[in-house]
Every structure is written in structure tokens, then in C-alpha cells.
Structure 1
């Protein structure tokens, strides 16, 4: 028998654990939490000869811009298996090269974090909300190794995470770096509600200052959302460890955010779990839970796998985020959390108004808006930009096109957007391998599946050319009419400057923000930071003063405006326009008759699918 064959035979007889690579072991402690610090230790074992390249992530799953998490890391040290110091060098701002090791590197650092949201790390004496790319260093070449994380918890703190717990070791497990970095973790005095839904464990792990009764009511509403979301796809995903966790932080020091992950979602808000706060927070729950299908499993090819060392650009965020935006609110209506009137006010008015009034939406496509994410998704820059005239968020442009497509399918093709999402799930989401989709989709896949569901490939091609690759605006007035919903001017007949201004009490002037293409001030040649000294001979002392001035005029009136610009004091003749703000209202609100056909259409669209 040849040696190579003998080696294979012996390997086959060894236990699986003996063949597995040594895990990367993390310990996270909080000796100085009151000052927002954690002490993190990473042990890399069985390291190949040569320098070990240790890095902090530069980007984070669900965020597409660079965030440079290394900026909050200091007091870095490295030792070998004997505790002897190792040489550290900085090849770039994002990491460290460790030389002279003996196959083991014990890498230790202090992390500062004081922003509790879906991107960063927030640490204080009450809690730690840890986004893993902002918290844990990794080593190049070891991305496929499993990870074990141990949290040294202050008294009274518990762990909420999608990482798999190992009670015997007191650690939490991730199969590889992609899963580890996708696993936000909340540490604190958790209040947990757990239940079974379709054979899966769903749990809400919450930090908040409210009552248990408020959390119980919030849980009951969350259950309705889960049932309605599952009804769209015909069931829940197979969560990898049989569990889905809402990692929720509703303490006063948090920043409002929601961030989807494979088997969990990070929810942060300073708003309480009652009244308007609960409604707002539930909207985030609905949006993020829909992501456990759309973007986490139905995933665009250009985001798979996620790269932690660069900005990640996708051409499909109009679908991944925009269609999720549409469904997040639609699920709230179907669950009975919104009434028809609230759904129109909270969801449809925003989508329709943004789409029809945005200069950017009339110039650029949803694909192009998606490609802007690295510059706009919580990206930081100090120079002025012209996004008011060139950009509409892929949440809104995608959500508005989802609305239009749903109505087109219902009216002309005897099918629905629900059917389209189910088909995408069956073809590009349900099959998973190694905690990732087997068949991530392309733009061509999205068009092809639409043709199959509508049974009209010409329609699918036309819709994509005009509305997805192109920037033709949907005709919402026609599309919404069969549901007995009306698009109208919110302040019909009222004159407007279409301007955002900041008032300067010291001299009763007002500083103009960026002016929008087509607006009265833009047309008259005024620009950002110009100062309005007088409008129609009157000083602008407050918002009330401007409102009263405009109320004395009608659209089409021409008023003199004296302003200070970079070239000095100028006067322009400004033609007022009608206030462009739009709203969607039920015919009932507008005192219009509602036919039985309209009621039926609306009920089939907005009614519960879980019953």
C-alpha cells in the first residue's frame, strides 16, 4: 500500500475534531465599562510560519460604507504561547503584523465604544451592545476557522446573540468568520420572551426601562408580524441553530437603528415600548424580520461573500432594501397594527411623495441609486454634496417600485408581488450551504423570475428597462385608484418657496439650504448658504412669519427677494409655486364613493394572509 493511501485511510479513522482547524478563541471583558472600554483577547493557534496579519474590519454586514473600526483600538499587545512579547508592526491603518511567534499568538487590545446602534459598539456600566466587526479583530488566512467567544460578564448581565451557546465551555460558537461578524451581541440585564413558531424558537431579548406588561404587549404584536411575514413565503426559513433572536436595546442612550443578520436582528432605539414609540419600533421589527428572507438568504451575488476590508457595492439594494421597505409597512397593515388610514399616512404617502417629487428619481435609476450606498449608508464626509438633486434613497425608490409592481401584477397579470417573492425564495433563497445561499441572484435573475411569475416576459423586460435600469416614474394615481386610494396635494392651492431655511434671529434673516432643481429659488439663481434678507418687502423672523407671508399669495405670484450671496447683495424676482407635498388617502377620507370592487381589491391586497 502506498504511503499516500495509508495516510488517507488513517485520516478517515480519526475523529472529526482531530481534523478540524483549531478555533480562534476570543475573550471579551469589561474592567472599565463605565468609561466605555472593553479588553479583548484573541488567541490564534496553529499559526503557519511567518508574520500573522491581524486586522480590524473596515465595513460591516448590512452597511456598505467604510467605518474604519481600527480607530477605536489601542493598548495593543501580542505574546507567544510562553507569554513572551512579540514584534508588532503597522503595515497600514487597519491592522498589525505579528512576527516571531511559535505557532501561537495571543493578541490583546482595548476597545473604546460609545455608540449603541447596528454598526458600532456601545459600552457602559449598564450594558454592552457589540457589533462584531467593530469589536473583534481577525487574521487573514484564518477566515474559515471556527470561533469561540467567551464573555466575562459583570454581575446581572446575560447574553443575547445568534451565536450558538456551549454551556459546558461557557462560550459561544461561530462556524467561520463570516458568521461571527454577522452576529451582533447584547450584554446586560435581559428581559426575554421566547416562543415556538412553526417548529422554530423565536426570542425577544430586550433591554428597556418599561414594564413587563409593555413588553408582553410588544411581544404579542411581534408574533403577528412574524406570522404575516411567514405567510408571504409559505413558512419560516430553517434558522441555522433552530433559533431566531431579536437583539433589542431600547435604553435611552441608544441611537435609532435596525440591522438584519442571518438568524437575528439588531434593534436599537431610545423610544419606549408604548404609544408612538412602540409603533415606530414595531415598524423596525417588521422591516428587519423580512430581511431574514430578503438579503440574508435571497441574496445578491455582488454581496456574497461580504468583504470586511473594503466598501461593498451592490446594484440590487433597490430590491434587497427597497422591497423590504415596502413589505415592512405592508406587513404592519396585514397584521392589523396599522389601519388603512395609518398605512396610507405612514407608508404610501412617503413612498409616493418621495418618488414623484425627488429630482434624483427623475434622473437616475434604482440600480444607480443602489450603487451609491458606499457614499450614503452612514458614510462620513465633511464636504458639501448635491444629493438633494441627484439621489433618492434605494429604500424609497425601491419601495415605490415595489408598490407599483405589486399593483401592476394584481391589475394586469392575475398575480401578486407575494408570488414573485415566493418564486425568488424557491429559486434563490431556500437552498443554503455553509451558512450562505447556494444561488445568489443577479439582476438578470430578478427579471427572469418576474417574467415567469407574470407569464409575460415582455412585461418583465419592459418594467426593468423603464423602471429599474431606467428612471421612468410610475403613474401612482392610476395604479392606486382600483384600491380606492387617492393621490392628492396635501396643501392644495398653497403657495410655496420649496425651500429649507434656517432662521437667524440676530438680524431677522434666513439662510437657505441646498435648493432643489425646479424650485422657485433654484430657478431664480439662489443657492446653498445664500441669506434671505427680505421676501416681498418683509423680514423673515420665524417660520410663522414665512407661513403668513406665503398665505397672502397664491401659486404663480411673483415676489421680490433681496438676498446676500457670495457676490454681494442681490435682488431677484421669484415665482411662487404650489406646495408640492403629496399624500395618499382612502377615498372615504376624501368623501369619494368606494365601490364594492375597490373594497375587494383593497382587502385582497392589504388584508391578513396568516388567517
Structure 2
């Protein structure tokens, strides 16, 4: 049979849940028109949007394989991640039990009331079959419905993916869905939610999500052409759920155990805003070093500062523009955290955003048991990217009569809109990002300097100067207060406190104290409660020297520790700081933070 015909023979998946109460699914994968020789069946080791290894094969067992006549086939294990099936007649039915009890964007969560399935953690696949379409059938318990970006085929009762890349990128939630749907700019946007709360809470959440969708679309001048005409928020807010958000091409997986009331709504909507912005940035406007995604290894990118960090900036900015945040809340929840992290992180002063991006395989839900020194060497590409997005937006507005919105639109038009075979036709490189910045700013020298200093280098932005034209002030959050710049864990059993890693330049670091050292006395006093240390330090001023008795690996020691001023920063409006606000400041702030949707 010609290769073109072979490439079109679909892979059929069937999922049933006869033992869901014990977190098991029974999965059957049917491969037809298989070439002669062993079929190499694999479980993924990585997942789109995650960059570390996860070894999903560890939750697969009771593996069996048969041919077209139901005859058992020989199954061998060439490595921990897959199986070789030999002696087939061109057909292989590969069946296994999957265990899953973590509901988030990475794993599979199965129980008596729902199944939340990240496909790399759920579905086996075969080498050489990656371009074949897939059809998935769910044997659903009573009352369960399907939420997925896979294309439904009502006649067959199946769900379709054009190839393995799309299939693996399609999280699916099964359960009693609360569904909301609306039309936005000619596209269908839908929310499918597993939630035990009220319909009124879901309606309020939906109304705010609609505003988020409008403001995100306004940044780019429209919505993407979703492949099957719709975008799906796959939402799970059940009590057994872990907090997560994971972007996908035509959907997002949003999970949290928090309810849709009080401050929890704000937290949940922040994830919605961030993940929806990804339907442009990283799903279609995508770095070349992530195309195509490799499911058998860790995927490293140099551009997560942009893909995730600029999305982090816009996720919160969209919330402000949608009216979900006030100016003061935007300062409190977003700007204070981003600016404080950037200016106070030893890692940000040490390594560039590109180098931080390269660390993702070690930090993005990666598991390790040995200690590390990331407190002194690392700042998340989310924060370092968001901080540089903020700085660049303010630079463009103040010095170049344009905006970061215009930059994102230009990138979208050149590298995001062109698509083919459900994938970006022109994924970008870092030189592409610099080139387009030069075009939008009409200043190639500025673009080159920004990338050299702030993206390839690690020069910190001057936020005090950049935020002042918007009538925003960067200041010490606890000015004049003394600090050890550490948060030791109190041990009530013996009235001591155990240190974590100490930060470079902090009082304890300078005095020679390190992780697992145990504070016994401070300023001559025992730590009789968890509050004692805070109270003892608060009684002093920055620059005071206090004696600290501690137990280290070498025995009992006493050090003279010079207290520092608390380095915590905050961003506040001039109004809150009782500073005069000019009309120009108000105008600048309004043009930056006000809604753009019509």
C-alpha cells in the first residue's frame, strides 16, 4: 500500500471507566495497516506547555496486545517508556489500564464523579504513526458529558484529531458539565465546567470571562481562526482538583479547588485571562525551538520569557482593562509583585531572560529530591518576562509613540496568523522578535540595545523612572523596618527556628549562616513562639547588630548579624501616596490601562 494511504489509516482509541472509583481507566488503541516488523508503542515523557520530563508510563499496567483475529501478540519492554509488539498481521489492538489521581494540566485525574485527562498522560501512541488521524470514543458513565477541543462526529459518536500533535494537545474533561456558550467576532466561545456551586456563580464567572475575551481580542485586532470554529474553556473546580492552567491550541485546561466566590473568583479569572491570551501567544505565535513538540524528551526553549512572561504581563493587564481590577488592585496584585521580584531577585541580576527560559526543564513541575540554590540563581521566566514586558511597554509609550499592543499585533501578523496543518507556518526566533521591535518602534538601534541589555543580558529596568509618567510610585513597602531577609520555620518542640537557603547579600548570608542552620537565640533571647523572632527584629533599626546563636553542621556558633532594611517593594498610585497627579499622568495611565474593546 502507498505511504500516503498508510498515513491516512486512522488510529482508534476507546476509553472506558469500569473502575473509576479506584482511579482507573481501561484504554484500547487500535492500529491498522501497520507495516511489517515490531510496532513500537510509546507513552509520552513530556507534555505540550510543560517542559520537564514526567514519565507517564509509570501509571500504565495490565498491558495486552492482540491481532485482527484476537490472537495474543508478543509484547516486550525495550525501555521504561514503551513496548514493542511483534508477530502482528497488520493490525494491533493494544490495551492497558491507566491509573490517574491528579486533576491538573499535566496528569490524569479519574474518580467516580469525573475524569480529567491530559492526553500525553493518558494515550499511548506508536512511532511512525504520528501523521495519522485519530478517532477517540469515550464509554461514558451515566450523566457524564465530554468537554474537549477535539472535533466531535455525532454520527460515529467519536472525537477527531488530524494527527498526533493535535491529539496530544487536546485535554478532555468528562463529567456532569455546566455549559455556557456565546458568539464572539464570528467564533463560538464555550465554557464547560465541573463545579458544585450555583448557576448564578457560573453566570457571573461567564460574564467576566466574556469581558476578558473581548479585551484580549482587542490587543490583536481580532480572534484567531480556531480550527473547528470554536474555543473551549475546559474547567474543573471540584474539591479534589489541583491548581493549574494549561494552554492549548483551541482550548485551555483550568483547574482549581477554589470556589467561584470572594477573592477566589479573582484568582480563577486570572488563570483564565493568562491562558486565553496563549491562544495567540505560544499556541500560534510560537517559538521555532518548540516546533514540533517532542513527546519523548524535555523540550528547551530560549523564548519562554516572551511566550510565558509577556503572556503573564498581558493576563493581568487584560484583567485591568476588563474592569475586573481597579488601578489600585492592579498595582497591589500585579505591579508590586513583578517589580519587587525583578529588583530584589539575586537571580535576575545574575542571568538573562534567555538563560532563565533554558531552566524550564528543571523547574516547570519537575521533580527532584536534592537541594538547589535557585533562590540565588533563578527568577521565573514568568516574572522576568513580565517585568521586561512592562518596561518595554512603558519605553515604547514614552519614547517611541507606540505601544506593546502594536508590537504584539505586528508579531501576530507576521508569525502568528500564517498557519498550516494545524501548526504555525512561520514560528519565530529571537532575531525575529528583535527585528519586529525595530520595525514597530522605527528605531532598530533601540531594538538592538533593548535585546542586548535586557533579553540577552541582565540589566534591570529603571522602574521608578518608567512608572512615574503614569503617576505610579515605586517605594519600600516597609520603609525603616529592620529585617533578617529570611523566613525560618519555627520548631515549637525546642523553641528554635530552622533556616532555608539564605539569599546572597542578606544579613544571615553575610554572617555565614546557611540552609538547615538552626537559630537558638537572637539578641540573647530564646524563641518562645513563632512570633518571637519577628518581635525581636522589629525592636531594632536597620544597621543594628544583634547576636545570633545557632546550631550548624560544625556545632554551636554565635554570629554578629547586621540587620538590613526590609527590601520589600510596592507600587502605588500617586493618589494613594498623596502625591500630586498631573493631567498628563492621568492621560498616560488611562491610555495604558483603560479598556480597548469596542
- TM-score when normalising by structure 2: 0.99
User: Following TM superposition, where does structure 1 have runs of at least 4 consecutive aligned residues deviating by more than 4 angstroms?
Assistant: none
Give the superposition deviation at 1:19. Answer: 7.9
Listed as ranges, the gaps of 5+ residues in structure 1 are 1-6
Contact 2:7–2:131 at 8 Å: present in 1 too?
no
Contact 1:504–1:541 at 8 Å: present in 2 too?
no
2:586: which partner in 1? 599
Give the superposition deviation at 1:551. Answer: 1.5
Contact 1:500–1:514 at 8 Å: present in 2 too?
no
2:345: which partner in 1? 358
Please state if 1:155 is matched with 2:136: no
Q: Distance in 2 between matches of 1:20 and 1:455?
A: 47
Please state if 1:428 is matched with 2:415: yes
Please state if 1:486 is matched with 2:479: no
Q: Distance in 1 between matches of 2:301 and 2:210?
A: 32
Please state if 1:172 is matched with 2:172: no
Give the superposition deviation at 1:332. Answer: 0.2
Please state if 1:575 is matched with 2:562: yes
Give the superposition deviation at 1:541. Answer: 2.9
Identify which of 384, 393, 406 aligns with 1:419. Answer: 406
**Where do residues 493-572 of structure 1 align in structure 2 (5 Å cutoff)?**
493-572=480-559
Give the superposition deviation at 1:227. Answer: 0.3
1:146: which partner in 2? 133
Please state if 1:283 is matched with 2:270: yes
Instruction: Report Cα offsets for 1:167-208 as digits up to 9, x if no partner.
Output: 000000000000000000000000100000011000000000
2:13: which partner in 1? 26
1:267: which partner in 2? 254
2:93: which partner in 1? 106
Instruction: Report Cα offsets for 1:43-74 as digits up to 9, x if no partner.
Output: 00000000000000000000000000000000
Identify which of 216, 229, 233 aligns with 1:229. Answer: 216
Contact 2:6–2:33 at 8 Å: present in 1 too?
no
Q: Distance in 1 between matches of 2:530 and 2:190?
A: 46
Contact 1:503–1:541 at 8 Å: present in 2 too?
no
1:96: which partner in 2? 83
Please state if 1:48 is matched with 2:71: no
Is 19-28 or 585-594 further displaced after alignment? 19-28
Contact 1:204–1:245 at 8 Å: present in 2 too?
yes
Q: Distance in 2 between matches of 1:222 and 1:247?
A: 13
Identify which of 229, 240, 246 aligns with 1:253. Answer: 240
**What do you get for the CA RMSD once the two structures are aligned?**
1.2
Q: Distance in 2 between matches of 1:567 and 1:464?
A: 46
> What secondary structure sits across from 1:244 in the alignment?
strand
2:464: which partner in 1? 477
Q: Distance in 1 between matches of 2:532 and 2:108?
A: 44
Q: Distance in 2 between matches of 1:505 and 1:117?
A: 35
> What secondary structure sits across from 1:532 in the alignment?
strand
Q: Distance in 1 between matches of 2:222 and 2:518?
A: 57
Q: Distance in 2 between matches of 1:145 and 1:273?
A: 41
Instruction: Report Cα offsets for 1:404-425 as digits up to 9, x if no partner.
Output: 0000000000000000000000
2:229: which partner in 1? 242
**Where do residues 175-186 of structure 1 align in structure 2 (5 Å cutoff)?**
175-186=162-173
Please state if 1:384 is matched with 2:376: no
2:288: which partner in 1? 301
Please state if 1:396 is matched with 2:347: no
> What secondary structure sits across from 1:350 in the alignment?
helix
1:196: which partner in 2? 183
Q: Distance in 2 between matches of 1:109 and 1:196?
A: 40
Instruction: Report Cα offsets for 1:209-262 as digits up to 9, x if no partner.
Output: 110011011000000000000000000000000000000000000000000000
Identify which of 442, 453, 458 aligns with 1:466. Answer: 453
Give the superposition deviation at 1:20. Answer: 6.1
2:116: which partner in 1? 129
> What secondary structure sits across from 1:204 in the alignment?
strand
- TM-score when normalising by structure 1: 0.97
Instruction: Report Cα offsets for 1:514-537 as digits up to 9, x if no partner.
Output: 000000000000000000010100
Give the superposition deviation at 1:543. Answer: 3.4
Q: Distance in 1 between matches of 2:305 and 2:166?
A: 24
Contact 2:331–2:571 at 8 Å: present in 1 too?
yes
Contact 2:478–2:566 at 8 Å: present in 1 too?
yes
Give the superposition deviation at 1:507. Answer: 1.1
**Where do residues 434-445 of structure 1 align in structure 2 (5 Å cutoff)?**
434-445=421-432
Q: Distance in 1 between matches of 2:460 and 2:540?
A: 31
